[in-house]
Amino acid sequence: LDDAGEDREALLESQLIDSAEKYLTISRDDDGFGRKLFGLLRMKQPEKEDRIIGDVYRSMIPLLAALDSIPQSRMMILALDRACRGLYPQRLQDMEAAVVATLGDEYLSLLPDFVPGNPEDDGSSPGH
């Protein structure tokens, strides 16, 4: 990244988005991720979606929001948000509810509006 010069931020953002998309896609498609009760039961698709959305908005994003010492945490938050929206665009209300329940209304300003068909649903810029 040091050799990227003025393209450094754009390159980093692109890599973070790509990594988040791959991680969430692998999680969605991995049979092992979709198991519960010590691997004995398979999760139904809605349960798996709930788990991924919960992991992103109740665990990963709050952790990154608390890490003020990492300058890239904001970029990581937006990458995870964008990837989750891309994977489950029909679950925007659930994503918004998870943010509010976990972090409170003030954290909605970190993310683009949770509105279906929002041109900012790609996570590229905050919207509140």
Is 34's pLDDT higher than 80?
A: no
Half-sphere exposure (Cβ direction) of 7: Cα atoms closer than 13 Å: 6
Q: What is the DSSP letter of 41?
A: E
Higher pLDDT, 109 or 84: 84
Give the model confidence (pLDDT) of 79-89 as tens digits.
999 999 999 99
Q: What is the pTM of this model?
A: 0.80
CB 103 within 8 A of CB 61: yes
